[in-house]
């Protein structure tokens, strides 16, 4: 595929992610931080996110299996998780986190579980999309999507 085509495709992918609400403004911030000194910053951070959050997700899952539910703990885990998702700009996932927190506060175990399932879906979906995105970006070369290929 021609580079410019790839580039265009990448731009489209990116736009779709924003339009569909997967990513928000924060992601743009990450992109802005990427420069010559940090050429793969965005990808690095996203990778770090997925690696670290796996642990958190696992913790939450375990906590959700307990009976009775410890909402404080759940809230605490979610707090951490939310911190991460907002930092990378994962909008939909963050929304689910907020929803989850609401249920925790209300002591609604069922609501929490439901929301968590939803959250996992969004999380997985975003991961797939971002992976495709970064893969394409890498193909294009060191020049980031923000730069026009020569």
The Cα 146–Cα 93 span in angstroms is 25
Decide whether 69 or 78 has the Cβ nearer to other proteins: 78
Which one among 11, 16, 33, 106 touches other proteins, defined by CB under 8 A? 33
Among residues 84, 95, 115, 145, which is the contact residue for other proteins, using CB under 8 A?
A: 84
For residue 32, state whether it binds other proteins (rule: CB under 8 A): yes
The contact pattern for other proteins, residues 93-132, with x = CB under 8 A and - = no contact, is ----------------------------------------
| Omega within 30 of 0 (cis) for the link into 68 | yes
Judged by CB, which is closer to other proteins: 12, or 62? Answer: 62
- In angstroms, the CA 70 to CA 104 distance is 9
Measured at the alpha carbon of residue 106, what is the angle toward residues 101 and 110, in degrees to the nearest 5?
A: 80
Q: What is the C-alpha separation between 38 and 97, in angstroms, rounded?
A: 29
- Say which residues have a Cβ less than 8 Å from residue 43's Cβ, sequence separation at least 6: 134, 137, 138
Residues of this chain that bind other proteins (CB under 8 A): 26, 29-30, 32-33, 38, 41, 44-45, 48-49, 52-53, 76, 79-80, 82-84, 86-89
């Amino acid at each position: 595929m021609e580079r410019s085509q790839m580039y265009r495709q990448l731009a489209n992918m990116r736009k779709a992610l924003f339009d569909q609400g997967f990513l928000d403004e924060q992601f743009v911030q990450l992109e802005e931080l990427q420069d010559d000194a940090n050429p793969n910053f965005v990808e690095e951070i996203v990778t770090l996110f997925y690696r670290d959050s796996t642990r958190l997700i696992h913790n939450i899952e375990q906590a959700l299996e307990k009976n009775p539910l410890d909402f404080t703990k759940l809230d605490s885990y979610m707090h951490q998780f939310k911190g991460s998702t907002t930092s990378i700009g994962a909008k939909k996932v963050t929304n689910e986190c907020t929803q989850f927190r609401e249920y925790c506060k209300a002591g609604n175990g069922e609501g929490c579980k439901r929301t968590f399932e939803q959250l996992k879906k969004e999380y997985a979906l975003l991961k797939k999309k971002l992976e495709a995105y970064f893969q394409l970006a890498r193909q294009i070369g060191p020049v980031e999507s923000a730069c026009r290929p020569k």
